[in-house]
Structure 1
Amino acid sequence: MIVRNLDQDILGTDREVEAENGNWVSRRLVLADDRVGFSFHDTIIRAGTETYIHYANHIEAVYCVAGNGEIYDIEADTTHQIRDGMMYLLNNHDRHYLRGGTEDMRLICVFNPPLTGAEVHDENGHYPLLTLD
């Protein structure tokens, strides 16, 4: 059994990763080295920000538990409002913009395959597909 506390075990460690541009911070509660087949993240998207993302190598499910924002689906030319209780699933490696709203947005995210924790978005909005040795 794995038991972790955000305040005691994640914040201020290498499992708390902040975007270089300051748009978001991802607190990575479960990673590939936990060997459970997915990773699990508590992510803050800062108000008023915009981030281009295209997970070509991962599927991501996202559930909003606080705040507000929107996701713009580039292919469908559609914008979806995000608020507490909303979920979206990037099941087609969807290219999108994630935009923070009038307040910080707190998202619970699951990635498959799992992230190792070393990933950063590249110039194409991708996370590379990293695996453990």
Structure 2
Amino acid sequence: MIVRRLKECEGTDRQVHSETKTWDSVRMLLKDDGMGFSFHITTIYAGGETHIHYKHHLESVYCMSGNGEIETLADGKVYPIKEGTLYILDQNDEHILRGGTQDMKMACVFNPPITGNEVHRPDGSYAPAE
């Protein structure tokens, strides 16, 4: 059994900060844990905007608190995000994630799992899983 606490992971190499200062992510479950997916608690900072296009990963995201929006670039649709919202990027959807008036705390699941040090590349993606 694996047991980890968020507070114990914060401030370690499991916490990754974006170069743009728009988010940080605490990677609580990673590829080397052998579960077939990874699990993160991510903070999207109020007022920030991030271009994301996970070409090699599928992601599900649950908003635990805060507010913002996601815009899918293929069709220009904008979906509000608030506490209790789950969005699923089941088509490797290219999107813009925007923080609203409050920081968003998000629980994120990736498949395939990430290794832990990934940051968004210029095209908004993470590198393919090995």
Residues matched between the structures, number:
130
Q: Distance in 1 between matches of 2:75 and 2:84?
A: 23
- Identify the residue that residue 39 of structure 2 maps to in structure 1: 40
For structure 1, the 5+ residue unaligned runs are: none
Please list, as runs of the form range in 1=range in 2, the aligned pairs for 1:40-119 lying within 5 A after superposition.
40-119=39-118
Once the two structures are superposed, residues 22-55 of structure 1 have per-residue CA deviations (whole angstroms, 9 ceiling, x without a partner) of 1000001100010000000000000000000000
Q: Distance in 1 between matches of 2:67 and 2:108?
A: 15
Q: How much does 1:119 deviate?
A: 1.2
Q: How much does 1:87 deviate?
A: 0.5
Q: How much does 1:69 deviate?
A: 0.2
SS in structure 1 at match of 2:110:
strand
Is the 1:119–1:130 Cα contact (8 Å) retained in structure 2?
no
Q: How much does 1:77 deviate?
A: 1.1
**TM-score (normalizing by structure 2):** 0.98
User: Do residues 7 (structure 1) and 23 (structure 2) align?
Assistant: no
For structure 2, the 5+ residue unaligned runs are: none
Is the 2:74–2:94 Cα contact (8 Å) retained in structure 1?
yes
Kindly report structure 1 stretches of 4+ aligned residues shifted beyond 6 Å: none
SS in structure 2 at match of 1:127:
coil
